[in-house]
Structure 1
Amino acid sequence: MNIERLKFESSESTAVQIERDLREAIIRLDLTPGAKLSEQEIATKLGVSRQPVREALIALSKSKLVSVRPNRGTVVSRISARQMMESRFVREAIETAVAARACANFDPWIRSTIDDILGRQEEAVQKQDYHLFRKEDEQFHLAIATGAGCTLAWSVIADVKAHIDRVCNLQLRKLDSLGKLMREHQAIIEAIDQREPDKAVAAMRTHLNGILSDLPRIEADNPELFE
Structure 2
Amino acid sequence: MKSALSSKPSDGIESAASGGAVVRGRGRPAGVTSPKTPLPDLTEKVSLDSHEPIGKQIFRALRQAIFAGEMAPGTPLSEKEVSDMFHVSRQPVREAFIKLVEAGVLQVLPQRGTFVKKISPRQVREGRFIREAIETAVARKAAVAITDAQLDELAANLREQKAASKLNDTAAFLALDEQFHFLIAQSIDCVAAWNTIQDIKAQMDRVRYLSLPEVSPLDLLIRQHARIVSALKAHDPALAEEAMRAHLREILISLHPIAERNPDWFEADEPERVPLAT
| TM-score of the pair, normalised by structure 1 | 0.96
Residues 1:72 and 2:112 aligned together:
yes
In 1, distance between residues paired with 2:216 and 2:83? 40
In 2, distance between residues paired with 1:95 and 1:176? 20
What amino acid sits opposite 2:39 in the alignment? N
2:274 maps to what in 1?
none
Q: Of 95, 100, 104, which residue of structure 1 is paired with 2:135?
A: 95
Moved over 3 A (4+): none
Residues 1:215 and 2:255 aligned together:
yes
Q: Of 41, 45, 59, which residue of structure 1 is paired with 2:85?
A: 45
Q: Of 36, 42, 65, which residue of structure 2 is paired with 1:5?
A: 42
In 1, distance between residues paired with 2:216 and 2:63? 27
Which one is further off, 150-159 or 4-13? 4-13
Q: How many residues align?
A: 227
Q: Of 113, 116, 135, which residue of structure 1 is paired with 2:156?
A: 116
2:62 maps to what in 1?
22
| TM-score of the pair, normalised by structure 2 | 0.79
How far did 1:32 drift? 1.1
Query: Matched residues, percent identical?
Result: 42
What amino acid sits opposite 1:8 in the alignment? V
How far did 1:3 drift? 3.2
What amino acid sits opposite 1:2 in the alignment? L
How far did 1:108 drift? 3.3
What amino acid sits opposite 2:190 in the alignment? C
Q: Which runs of 5+ in 2 are unaligned?
A: 1-37, 268-278
How far did 1:166 drift? 0.3
Q: 1:98·1:148 contact (CA, 8 Å) conserved in 2?
A: yes
1:157 maps to what in 2?
197
Helix, strand or coil for the counterpart of 1:160?
Answer: coil
Q: Indicate the structure with greater helix content.
A: 1
Q: Of 172, 175, 179, which residue of structure 2 is paired with 1:132?
A: 172
Helix, strand or coil for the counterpart of 1:67?
Answer: strand
Helix, strand or coil for the counterpart of 2:249?
Answer: helix
Q: 2:136·2:245 contact (CA, 8 Å) conserved in 1?
A: yes
The alignment's C-alpha RMSD in Å is: 1.3
Q: 1:3·1:42 contact (CA, 8 Å) conserved in 2?
A: no
How far did 1:184 drift? 0.3
How far did 1:15 drift? 1.2
What amino acid sits opposite 2:164 in the alignment? A
What amino acid sits opposite 2:42 in the alignment? R
How far did 1:175 drift? 6.8
Q: 1:3·1:22 contact (CA, 8 Å) conserved in 2?
A: no
Helix, strand or coil for the counterpart of 2:74?
Answer: coil
Deviations for 1:58-90, whole angstroms, at most 9, x for unmatched residues?
Answer: 111111110012211100010000111100000
Superposed counterparts of 1:173-184, under 5 Å: 173-174=213-214, 177-184=217-224
Helix, strand or coil for the counterpart of 2:198?
Answer: helix
Q: 1:15·1:55 contact (CA, 8 Å) conserved in 2?
A: yes
Deviations for 1:16-52, whole angstroms, at most 9, x for unmatched residues?
Answer: 1111110111111111111111211111121112221
Helix, strand or coil for the counterpart of 1:11?
Answer: coil
How far did 1:176 drift? 5.9
What amino acid sits opposite 2:200 in the alignment? V
